[in-house]
Amino acid sequence: MTRARARRRGFTLLEVLLALAVLSVIMLLLLSAFTGATRVRETLSSRSREFRQIRLVLDRIGTDLMDAFAATVRPDSGLTLTEDQLSGMPAATLTFTAFQLPDGDASHPPAEIVKIRYFPRIGSDGVTLELHREQSDLPFIENKILPRETTVAEGLKGFRIELYDGSTWVKEWPAGAVATKLPKKAAITLVDARGETYRREVPIFLAGQEASVTWSGRRGKVSQ
């Protein structure tokens, strides 16, 4: 009789508490695993967005610079570069004239010649830089058209441009050079929010042809 009663008896309180403790540990481990996976996915997604932004900005600035020109008869077509510091971060301002295909924007006239300016500002968070691109269409006409400004990058820790004059790299332009003389190459450097540096060098194809470009920006015949 005593053995039968012992077999019919349920779990003790100690056994229930022990089972709950083991279950809690298992659930905690599973939750930690899922949380860790979510954090890794968010980190990878954020890094992917940041890298894509860097790549697109380097491509855009590089493409604009490869189409840069300057005309000897138009001093205002020359390229200028200055470097400053914003909250201790390198912050360059680059202005130049470039050929560009019409963008099809009905609100602006088609223009094959544009004035482009890249410049940084302190971001909304107060600790990083925003990179802006300003474009003026038909820059040499008398009736000026309001420029268009867009934000091309956010969350930067630095924006720097270096120009190669044929012998050395410089951070200011023109520096003792003719106002309309173009550098041979340009190096674009971006520093992301984590302090990682990305650099791209691009050639400026019309360097040395400043005298053969008319004031309208159209290239004349270049002697072979």
The pLDDT of residue 33? 77
Residue 105 lies in a domain: yes
The pLDDT of residue 31? 80
The pLDDT of residue 153? 95
Q: Contact 86/99 with Cβ under 8 angstroms?
A: no
CA distance 171 to 112: 28
Residue 164 lies in a domain: yes
Domain of residue 87, residue span: 56-212
The pLDDT of residue 118? 98
The pLDDT of residue 138? 78
Q: What pTM, to 2 d.p., does this model score?
A: 0.76
Residue 148 lies in a domain: yes
Residue 1 lies in a domain: no
The pLDDT of residue 18? 83
CA distance 81 to 29: 56
Q: Tell whether omega for the bond before 102 is within 30 degrees of 0, i.e. cis.
A: no
Residue 138 lies in a domain: yes
Q: Kindly write down the DSSP assignment for every residue of 20-42, as one continuous string.
A: HHHHHHHHHHHHHHHHHHHHHHH
Contacts of 186 (CB under 8 A, 6+ apart): 62, 65, 161, 162, 163, 164, 201, 202, 204
DSSP 8-class letter at 220 = -
CA distance 203 to 63: 10
The pLDDT of residue 4? 53
- Tens digits of residue pLDDT in 182-209: 999 999 999 998 899 999 999 999 999 9
Residue 48 lies in a domain: no
Residue 220 lies in a domain: no
Tens of each residue's pLDDT in the chain, 224 residues: 455 555 556 778 777 788 888 888 888 888 887 777 777 677 767 788 889 999 999 999 999 999 999 999 888 899 999 999 999 999 999 999 999 876 655 555 556 889 999 999 999 999 999 999 999 887 887 666 788 999 999 999 999 999 999 999 999 999 766 788 999 999 999 999 889 999 999 999 999 999 887 655 444 444 43
Overall number of domains in the chain: 1
Considering only CA atoms, which of 124, 121, 127 is closest in space to residue 84? 121
Residue 16 lies in a domain: no
